[in-house]
Structure 1
C-alpha cells in the first residue's frame, strides 16, 4: 500500500468535536466557490428539525475529506466545504438569535477559537473560506451579531450572493422557532449530529478518495480537479495569484460554462470525439496544461475564456467583425449543439493583429457549414470530424494530410442542404425554429428579435375539417400533405397557439389570429401572409421559391448549387 494511503484516518466525530480546537478548517484556493442555494440549505435545516422532533439518537451528515497531518489541527478541506459553510451559517444565526448575552457569548465558541497560549492555540475563526470570500464571510456571518444586518444579495454575485441568500433564508426560518425550540436545536446539532472525518496527509491521496465519499456535498467538477492539479504544480508562491485568476474566469463565465470551455479547449487540441473523462483527457491532450502553470493561465486559459465571453457579446462582435459576422454568431448559438465552438475559439485564439476581415469571413462560412450539418441531421461523429477538419485547415497538425472536406461545401453538399431546406422542415423539431429565425432575420434586414415565447403556426392547418374553406382551397389531400410542413406555410406568432383558431377561414385567421392590434406583424414571415390575397398551392409554390432563394443568398448556396427550389419559377410572391 502506498505510504500516503496507509496514513488515512477515518472516524466519526460529533459537531462539538468538529467545531473545536482539534480542527482549523481552511478552504484551499483551488476549491470551487460556495455553491449551495436556498433549496439545499433548507433541506439540511429541515432534516435537522425532523430528526430532532422524531427523537433520533444520531443524525449522520456524511463524510468530509481533509488534508491533515496526524495530531495537527490545520485541516485543508478537499470535500465538505458546502456542509461546513452552511453549518457555520446556521450556528452563527442561532448564536445571534440567542437573547441571553451570556449564552450568546458561550455559543461563539462554535464559530470562533479564542487564543490559548497554554495550549498553543492562536485566535482564529474555526472555518476560513477561500481568500476571495474570507473577509465577507467573517463580516456577515462569523463575527458576533453579523447575521443581524445581512447585505442585499441582489448587489452581490457568485459565492457571496449564495452566502447572503442562504443566511437570509435560514435566519427567516430559524426566527419562526421560539427560543426554547432553537435551544433544543443547537443542543441536538452539537451533541447528536456526526460527520465521518477522513484525514489524509497529502493532496494526492485526498483527491483519490473524495469522489467516492461525497454525501450531501456537491460533487467537484472536472475543472475543480484540473484546478487542483495546476495549483499543486504551481507551488505556494504562485498558488494564490493563479487561483484568483482562474476564479475570475470562472466567475465571468459561470460554473457550467467553465466546464464547457475546458471541454472545447480539449477538442481544440485533441480534434476527435472525447472518449475519456475530461479531467483525464485534458492533461493528456492539452500540451500547454502540462508545462508552466502561469503560462497556461496567461497564454491559454485567459485568452480563450475572453474569446468565449466575446462570443456572448453581440455588440462587441458587431463592432470588431461587422454586422454579418454578428448575425452568424447569433444564428450559430441557436442550434442544438456546440460542435462549432472549438473552431471559433481556436480561430480567435490564433488571430493576428488586423485579422478582423478574415475572421468575419470565417464566422460567416462556419455558420453555413454548421447549418448544413444541422439541417441534414449529421450525427455527432460526422460533426466533430468535419469541425476538426476545419481546424486542420487553418491550424494544421504535424504529420497530418490536408483534409479533403473542411469549411467549404461542395456542390453536392449544397444541393443536399437546399433539398433539406425545401422539404417538410417542421417535422425536424429542433431544426425548424432556428432556420425560421434566420430566415425572418434576413427578411427583416437584421432588425428582428426573438424570445422564448415565439411559436410556429401553420397557415394551412395540419388537420383540415371537411366543410372548412381549407378543404375547398386544397381539395387534394396529397397536395395538402406536400405543403403543410414546408417553409412557405409556416409563420411566427408572439402568442400561444390557439388550436381552435387553426381552422378559421384564411381572412379571419389573418385578421384575428396572425395580426396584432394595428393589423401588422413584427415578423416579416408573418407579414407576408397578411399581405396575401389568398392561400393556394400556386401561392405557396411562389412563396416557397422566394424563401428558399433568400436562404440560398444568406448561405451563399445559389450560385454553385444550380438549384434553389424544387418548384418551377412562376414569378415572385411576397415573403
Structure 2
C-alpha cells in the first residue's frame, strides 16, 4: 500500500489535479449552520491576526482512482462546506474576473486541447449530486434561496441550503475590501494535508489511526510546567498540587481549556484575538509574570479566581450567587457566542473578594436557583466552607445587564467574532482604569445599532433556533415583568405549518402572505412541544392545542394568550409581531434614539433606509419585490426552452406578483411554476425573459445586491 502525504493550499487542491468523489457508502452531508459559521469565523480571525500566516484545516484521506479522480474517505464535510463558501463569495462578487476565479474553484471549465472534461471539482453521493451541482456549483445560489422546506429530498440537501444561507449572510456582512481579503486568504493561506493511497482498506486503516487519539498535553499542562519550574524548589510540589486542584474541575477537554485561557488572555492582555493560545498566552501573560518572580501570585491571585469564575459561568444555577445575578448569567448563556465570557469573568472576580480562596462556598445544591433556569450538568461540589464575600453588587448587576444587552443586539445584527471581542477588550480595559460601566464604552449601543436591531426584528429572522428562543424568552419576561421558570425543553416554533397541504385552512391564504410570515417573530411561539409533534397538524386549532398542552408552556404570557385566539389571520400575526418587537425594544432599551424617535414604531422599510448596517441577505426574494424595484414588469413574459424534449413553457408576470402559466394556473414563486411543468428538479434559473434573454437568477441577484 503506497501512501503519500503533502501539504497544499486550497488553490492547489480545487484544481484539475483532483476530482473528488464522495463514495456511496459515506454518510450524508451533516454540517449545520454552527459548523459553517465556525469555519468562516476561524478563517476570518486567522486572516485578521496574520494575513501572511498559514491556517491549517486538517487532512483529507483519499483513495486514488482513474486519472485525477479520488474517493474521499475523510474530509467530505469540509470539502462541501468550502464549496458552499466559494459559491457565496462568487455570488457576492461584482468583479467578473474575481467571480470567474471563484467559480473555477467549483467547476472545471474543460479544455479539449488538454483533454480535460468539464465537470464539478466535487461530486456528492448519487442522491444529492445533481442537487449540489445545480444549486451550488453552477450558476448562482438564487435558485437555492427560492426553495421552500418541502422542496428538499434529503436532510443533506436541507443542510446544504441552510449552510449556504448562513455563509452568504456572514460574508455579505463584510464590506467588499474585507471580503476580498478573506477570499484571498482562504484560497492562498488555508492549508490541508492530502493523504492518498491506492487501497480502500488501507485508507480506512489510516483513518482509524489518525482518529485514535492518545492523551496529548493540554495548554494547562504546558502552563503548569512553566509556572512550577519558576518557583523555588521547596514550593514546587505544593503549587503543582494547587494548580491541579484549581484546574481539575474545568475538565480535560483540550478545546474547552484553550477557550478558558483565550478568555484569560483577553482579560489580562486586552488583546481581542488569541489564535495560538500557547504562544500568545506565554508571551503576553505568563512569561512576563514569571520573569518578575510572580509565579505564586499568578496561581493564587489570577488563575484561582478566574478558574472559579469560569466554573460559575458554566453552571450558574448551582452557585450561591444571588438570584438576580444568576438570572443574568443564565440569560447570557442563551447565546451561542462566547465572546461575552471574559467580561462576565472579570465582573465576578472583581465582585467577590474571596473567589480565589479554596474555602469559598461557590456552589450550592443543584437547582437552588430554579427561578433562573434548570440546573446544568456540572462536577461542582456541594456547598461547604466560607460564604462568598460579595461587594459592589449594584455594579455587578449593571455590568451583566449591559453585557447581555450588547450581546443580544450584536447577535441580532450578526456581528462577527472580531468586533464582539473588541467590545469585550475595550470594556475590560476601561474597567481596569477605574471607569464606570458606561464610561468604559465597550458595551455602548449606538443609534445605528438600535435601528439595525429593530430592522432585523421586523424582518425575516435568518438566524439559528437558539437566538429565536432567546428573543422570545426576553419578550415574554418583559411582558410578565419578571423572570419565568423555564422547563428543561423549550423551543420557538411557528404557528403556521411549514408545509401547507391541500384542504388546510391556510391554503386559502395568499401564497405571498404565507411566505411573508414564515420567518418572522410574530409567527413564533415558546413551547415545550417539538417540531415533529407539530409536523402533521395542519389546522390552527390543532397546532394551538398542542402548543398549549404543557403547563410549562403556559407560563409564558405570549404563548398562554393563544387560548383566547379562535382563528389565526394575517392581522393576528401582525398584532403579535408589533407587540413582540416593542417588548424586545423595551427590554434592551433600544426603542428610542438620541432624538427620542420611537424606532419601534417605524416600518422595516423606513428603518432600512436609515441604517448603513443593512447588507444583502439570503432571504427569499419575491416576485412582488422585484416588480416594485422595476426589474420586472407586469404583463411581460418569461420562457423556458427545452429543445431536446421539444418543449417550450411560457409564463406571464401578473400585477399581483405571481407567474401565470398558459393554462391559467398561477404560482407565487418561479420555482413552483417551473416544478409544475418540469418536475422536482426544475428551479428558478430555468426561466428567461423573452425581451432580452436574461435569466431570473440574474435578475434576482441584481435585486439582492441593489444595496451596494
TM-score normalised per structure 2: 0.45
> What residue in structure 2 maps to residue 305 of structure 1?
307
* Distance in 2 between residues matched to 1:313 and 1:497, nearest whole Å: 28
CA displacement, residues 144-196 of structure 1 (integer Å, 9 cap, x when unaligned):
xxxxxxxxxxxxxxxxxxxxxxxxxxxxxxxxxxxxxxxxxxxxxxxxxxxxx
Is 1:264 the equivalent of 2:271? no
Aligned to 1:420: 456
The equivalent of 2:412 in structure 1 is 375
Q: What are the Cα deviations for residues 66-109 of structure 1, in whole angstroms up to 9, with x where unaligned?
A: xxxxxxxxxxxxxxxxxxxxxxxxxxxxxxxxxxxxxxxxxxxx
> Hey, what does 2:570 align to over in structure 1?
537
Q: Which one of the candidate residues 348, 352, 359 is aligned to 2:396?
A: 359
3-state SS, counterpart of residue 230 of structure 2: helix
Partner of 2:221: 224
Range with bigger deviation, 415-424 or 492-501: 492-501
Q: What does 1:139-288 align with in structure 2 at a 5 Å threshold?
A: 217-256=214-253, 257-286=256-285, 287-288=288-289
Q: Matches of 1:261 and 1:395 in 2, distance apart? A: 20
Q: Is the 8 A contact 2:218 2:257 kept in 1?
A: no
- Preserved contact between residue 441 and residue 448 of structure 1 (Cα < 8 Å): no
Deviation at 1:531, TM superposition (A): 2.3
Q: 2-side partners of 1:434 and 1:382: how far apart?
A: 21
- Asked if 1:407 is matched to 2:435, the reply is no
Contact persistence 1:502–1:509 (CA under 8 A)? no
Shift in alpha-carbon separation, 1:497–1:308, aligned structure 2, 3 A: same
CA contact (8 A) 2:487 2:552 kept: no
Gap runs ≥5 in structure 1? 1-213, 569-575
For residues 550 and 533 of structure 2, the distance between their equivalents in structure 1, rounded to whole angstroms, comes to: 20
Q: 1:241 to 1:218 in 2, by over 3 A?
A: same
- Aligned-pair distance for 1:548? 1.5
- Residue 249 of structure 1: how far off its partner (Å): 1.4
Is 1:483 matched with 2:517? yes
State the alpha-carbon separation in 1 of the partners of residues 283 and 313 from structure 2: 27
SS for the counterpart of 1:456 is strand
> Counterpart of 1:432?
468
TM-score, with normalisation over the residues of structure 1?
0.55
Change (3 A) 1:502 1:264: same
The count of residues paired between Structure 1 and Structure 2 equals 347
Alignment correspondent of 2:544: 510
> Where do residues 41-52 of structure 1 align in structure 2 (5 Å cutoff)?
none
Change (3 A) 1:310 1:215: closer
Alpha carbon RMSD of aligned pairs, Å?
3.3
Rounded to whole Å, the distance in 2 between the matches of 1:341 and 1:216 is 29
Q: CA deviation at 1:362?
A: 0.7
Equivalent position of 2:378 in the other structure: none
The structural deviation recorded for 1:327 is: 2.4
State which of 555, 561, 578 in structure 2 corresponds to 1:528.
561
Give, in angstroms, the shift of residue 426 of structure 1.
5.5
SS in 1 for 2:600: coil
Q: CA deviation at 1:282?
A: 1.0
Alpha carbons of 1:551 and 1:354: their partners in 2 closer, same or farther (altered >3 Å)? same
> Counterpart of 2:565 in 1: which secondary structure?
coil
Any conservation in 2 of the 1:455–1:492 contact (CA below 8 Å)?
yes
Instruction: Tell whether the 8 Å contact from 2:493 to 2:530 is kept in structure 1 after alignment.
Output: no
Q: Is the 8 A contact 1:311 1:317 kept in 2?
A: no
d(CA) in 1 for partners of 2:449, 2:320:
29
In the alignment, structure 2 segments of 5+ residues that lack a partner are: 1-210, 354-389, 605-708
CA deviations on 1:456-492 (whole Å, 9 max, x unpaired) are 32111223234321133xx222222222211111123
Secondary structure at 1:516's aligned position in 2?
coil
Give 2:339's aligned residue: 339
Distance 1:528 1:297 in 2: 53
User: What is the distance in 2 between the residues matched to 1:416 and 1:303?
Assistant: 38
Q: C-alpha displacement at 1:242, in angstroms?
A: 0.9
After superposition, the Cα gap between the structure-2 partners of 1:289 and 1:501, relative to the gap in structure 1 and judged at 3 Å, is same
Confirm or deny: 8 A CA contact 1:548 1:565 kept in the other structure: no
| Deviation for aligned residue 1:343 | 1.7
The alpha-carbon distance between structure 1 residues 288 and 437, as it changes in their structure 2 partners (threshold 3 A), is farther
Q: Distance in 2 between matches of 1:485 and 1:554?
A: 22
